[in-house]
Structures are given as C-alpha cells and as structure tokens.
Amino acid sequence: MLRQALLVASRSGGVRKIVETAPGIRQVVRRFIAGETIDDALAVTQRLTAENLLVTLDVLGEDTSSERMAEQIVEHYTELLKRLADHGLGSRAEVSLKLTAVGQALDERLALDNARRVCTAARSAGTTVTLDMEDHTTVESTLRILHELRGDFPDVGAVIQSYLRRAEEYCADLAYEGSRVRLCKGAYAAPESVAFGDEDEVDKSYVRCMKVLMAGRGYPMLATHDPRLIEIAGALAVLHDRDPDTFEYQMLYGIRPQEQRRLAEQGDQVRVYVAYGSEWYGYFMRRLAERPANLAFFLRSVASK
Ligand code: FAD
C-alpha cells in the first residue's frame, strides 16, 4: 500500500512541490544522488573506481516533453562521456540512459536517433550504454529500440524487470553471446495484468530469470541489494563455471555500500549505479518506495530541521 502510494506520488506535481521545498531535503537526497553537476558525478566516479568498483552514470531526467529538452539531454550525455574519457575513466564507467529522457514519449524514431548519438559518443569514449527500463507501457518500444541499436552497437545493455510476467521469456530471448542484460526487480507501479503484485512472486521470477541468464551465453548484470538473491547468484556462478569477469553485480549508489565493497574484495565485479542532476524527484521517490527505512530516514531528517 505504502509503496503504491509513494509510486503514485512520484508522478504527482503537487507532492513534488512539497518534497522539493522540504527543509534540508538536499542533504537527504545526497545520500542517493551524487550531486547536480558533471563535476559532482566525476568526483564520485573517481572515488568509487579507486575502490575497485565499476560505475554506470545516469543523468536524471525522464518524461521529456519537447524535442528541445531531449536535445539538451543528448548534449549533456555527450559532454559527460567526453569528460569521462578525458579523465581516463572510459574503461571503468559507462552510462545508463532513459529513453523517455531523449524523446520516447514524443516519437520512437526521435528516441532511437538520439540514443544512437549517445552510443556513438560512448564508443568514442571507450565505453558503453545501458538502456534503463521504465514504466511497463514503454517496454515493447524500448526492446524494439534496443534491437535496432544492437545492429550497430552490439554492446548496448538491456534491462529486464522480474516483476513483469513476461520477464523469463524476455531473458531467454536476450541470453545470447555478447548480450549485456541487467536484471532488476522493477521500480514502477504496474497493473496485475502485466506484473506480479506479490513480492514473493517477483523474487521467484528473479531467480528463474537469473537461472536463464547465468546458464546462457550473454553477460548478466545482476542488479539487486537482496542478500538471498546475491547468494543464489554466487551459487549459479559456481554451477555454471562462470569466471568473475563474465558477469557482474550492480547496486545503487548509497545503498549497501559495505556489501558492494565486500563483493569487490572477494574478486567479483560490482558496478554502482550513480544518478546525478537537478531532476532528482522521480528517482528519489522510487528509492523511498523501495524501503520503509529510507522513508523513515527522510521524515526524521526533515523533522529535525
Ligand atoms: P528489495 O526488495 O528492495 O530489497 C530486498 C532486500 O535487500 C531487503 O529486504 C534488504 O534485505 C536488502 N536491502 C535493500 N535496501 C537496503 C538498504 N538500503 N540497506 C540494507 N539492506 C537493504 N528498476 C527499473 O524499473 N528499471 C531499471 O532500469 C532499474 N535499474 C536499476 C539498476 C540498478 C543498478 C539497481 C540496483 C536497481 C535498478 N532498478 C531499476 C531498481 C530495481 O528495480 C529495484 O526497485 C531496486 O533495486 C530494489 O530492489 P532490490 O532488488 O534491491 O530488492
């Protein structure tokens, strides 16, 4: 119930105004978000990569409503990728891209062309792009764009959300040689007709998907903070004789940082998803929805101001 309410609030302009102007909100947000500028993002990336972690950078912004806004996002990614290369970070940090930020809701063709430009900039910087998966209404369009892009950029990463009833089928289609696939539970509100509503069902689906990906020939990117799922991932790696460089764990910046380090220290690859930018509201609200403790932290911080 609380999760659904927070996810609905993540799309509400009224709640957005209240949250964005809450006292001390910026310090609270900084726990999950690297900052607002490219310099902030680079500083966090340098710190994490120095600790033997990999990074994927997300420029905050979604639901772009004009071509001009989409253009600004593409230009921002291009600048970010150039700066990553200048700092010699291309081999340790990639970018995550939301297609709605580059115009998907306006025109699929525009989003494809813009995503292609980001992929070209990533290639010049010696790195890769992963297409975030968003609201369930965008899934088929995102997969179409992914397949088009992979024609020229086979290393573009896909994301599958295990809460989708069709998740296992999507994973089976994507478990081919060279295919980078991030598996996550799913962070958006979705109706029962397309997604499992029960947490246990979502977790069981995650395990089924993980089995498909780990047995397959692609490169699984297991995005979860869930200790049980991380343990099962480790067991599947042993079962399928996977070397640590043939898959990776992924976690969000600010969530279970000790676990990120523990896995890296035991020789696994761990990538941290680092979001930054001024459009933090939707991302922040989805993090609150995931964990009541995050909400309590937010309310305590605001109350103490
Ligand atoms: P949860 O069910 O949230 O948590 C499971 C367990 O993990 C908890 O019970 C607890 O034991 C532990 N845990 C979780 N948080 C904490 C904490 N703060 N401290 C201590 N323990 C904790 N979603 C999308 O829809 N599209 C995407 O493209 C996408 N990309 C993502 C990329 C990455 C790298 C990650 C990590 C997540 C991404 N997500 C994405 C979000 C994802 O779908 C989930 O909403 C989010 O990861 C929470 O799910 P979880 O697997 O961590 O499990």
pLDDT digits over 125-165, tens only?
A: 999 999 999 999 999 999 999 999 999 999 999 999 999 99
34-279: CATH topology: TIM Barrel (3.20.20)
Give the neighbor-by-neighbor strand order of the sheet with 158-161.
129-131, 93-97, 54-59, 270-276, 248-252, 219-223, 180-184, 158-161
Element (H or E) spanning 40, and its range?
helix 38-50
Percentage of the chain lying above the pLDDT 70 cut: 97
Q: What pairing do the DSSP bridges indicate for beta strands 180-184 and 158-161?
A: parallel
- Average pLDDT for 113-125: 98
Report the nearest-CA residue for atom 47 of ligand 1.
224
| Active-site residue list | 132, 182
Single-letter residue type at 172: A
Report pLDDT digits (tens) over 25-83: 777 888 899 999 999 999 999 999 999 999 999 999 777 889 999 999 999 999 999 99
Find the 193 Cα to ligand 1 centroid distance in Å.
22
Q: What is the pTM of this model?
A: 0.93
Does pLDDT of 186 surpass 70? yes
Write down the ipTM of this complex. Answer: 0.97
- Sign of the CA dihedral running 202, 205, 209, 211: positive
**CB-ligand 1 contact for 291 (6 Å cutoff):** yes
Whether residue 19 contacts residue 301, with contact meaning beta carbons closer than 8 Å, is answered with: no
Locus of tokens 């600004």 = 72
pLDDT at residue 265 is higher than 70: yes
Q: Cβ distance 9 to 296 under 8 Å?
A: no
